[in-house]
Amino acid sequence: MHNTIKGIIFGLFFVLQTAIMGQRMASPRSIVVYKTQDSIVVDGLANETSWRNAEVSEDFVDIEGVKVPSYETNVRMLWDKDYLYFFAELEEPHVWADITERDAVIFYNNDFEIFMDPDGDTHNYYEFEMNALNTVWDLLLVKPYRENGPVVDSWDILGIKTAVRVNGTINDPKDVDAGWSVEIAMPWSVLTEASGSNDVPEGQFWRINFSRVNWDFQLENGKYGRKKNEEGKYLPEYNWVWSPQGVINMHEPEHWGYAYFSPLESGKKDSFTIPRDEEIRWLLYSFYRRQEKYREEHGKFADSLKLLQLEPSLSDGTRIELELELHGNGWNLFAKSPYTGQTYSIREDGKYQQTKNRKK
């Protein structure tokens, strides 16, 4: 696909913003990712003992977190010293695909998608998509589309392994299929490039989400295609995700789930609780969205937290000490954790990070 065409597509599909600014979201989902206990063969099947003992995610939900999808989807993850592994099962009575060009816009077919933000700052994150023909699209986003950041479409996950298995017959409308499964191995040597460390994140978590785009279809001369209305326009797609976004936009990484990389092997039992400090992250993004709304309405950023009309408190009522700092190009908002004493900040382009404790 030409970059110009892709730019138009990005604008149409991904610059949608949250309708209710500052809205509190339900806590993101989390999953424990265990170490492998045997070698993984990437063949689209989960026959290995490690996969059988891996944690299976909750079923996907509608991206806005309200409607129940028509078909079930769930994922599993594993890791070893070389790869991060994914396995997904997608229920689908009509498995079809027609895109065969790598790095084409895969979501014009039914697809499976992975989003990863290793350091959780919402910048420099990865997107990966694949269809039932095992055609892939991988790209690096310097910033979310809402911040007009560049998209590095030429970026590839070198050494990636992918496989698809169809439980039925692909592109055959004469029968009813059970679905399809995907298996993926991504090298740590590539994934850690945006993590701030070359180490495998054992005992740590990354922000990750999964999406499944599904289209109503129609048959033309016996071939599947996206369904059109009476005016000849394509019907909108369905967006089903692991951790709900609350808005039809996967490119709000602050809403993604948490993948915890356990030091234990698959078959053993580990647990993960999202740290309390992460609630401060969610709070700061509420202020970020409210600042965006204020600038849209007033042509400038608010120079006082009172103007943003948001309570600096967490879900249990704990109040957080905030400090807003304006500068020539934007603003910084600082928050000190009452749990760990750490200071966190967010700035006008949505970048979030832990900072040095500020002196009064």
Q: Which pLDDT score is estimated for 214?
A: 98
What pLDDT score does 11 carry?
40
User: What per-residue confidence (pLDDT) applies to 22?
Assistant: 37
Q: What is the pLDDT of residue 8?
A: 38
pLDDT for position 358: 64
Q: Domain 3-265 adopts which CATH fold?
A: Immunoglobulin-like (2.60.40)
HSE value, Cβ hemisphere, 13 Å, CA-based, for 305:
18
Q: Where are the domains of the chain?
A: 3-265, 277-355
Residue 317 pLDDT = 93
The pLDDT assigned to 357 comes to 66
Q: What does the pLDDT profile of the chain (360 residues) look like in tens digits?
A: 344 344 434 344 333 333 333 344 578 999 999 999 999 999 999 999 999 999 999 999 999 998 999 999 999 999 999 999 999 999 999 999 999 999 999 999 999 999 999 999 999 999 999 999 999 999 999 999 999 999 999 999 999 999 999 999 999 999 999 999 999 999 999 999 999 899 999 999 999 999 999 999 999 999 999 999 999 999 999 999 999 999 999 999 999 999 999 999 999 999 999 999 999 999 999 999 999 999 999 999 999 999 999 999 998 999 999 999 999 889 999 999 999 999 999 999 999 999 876 665
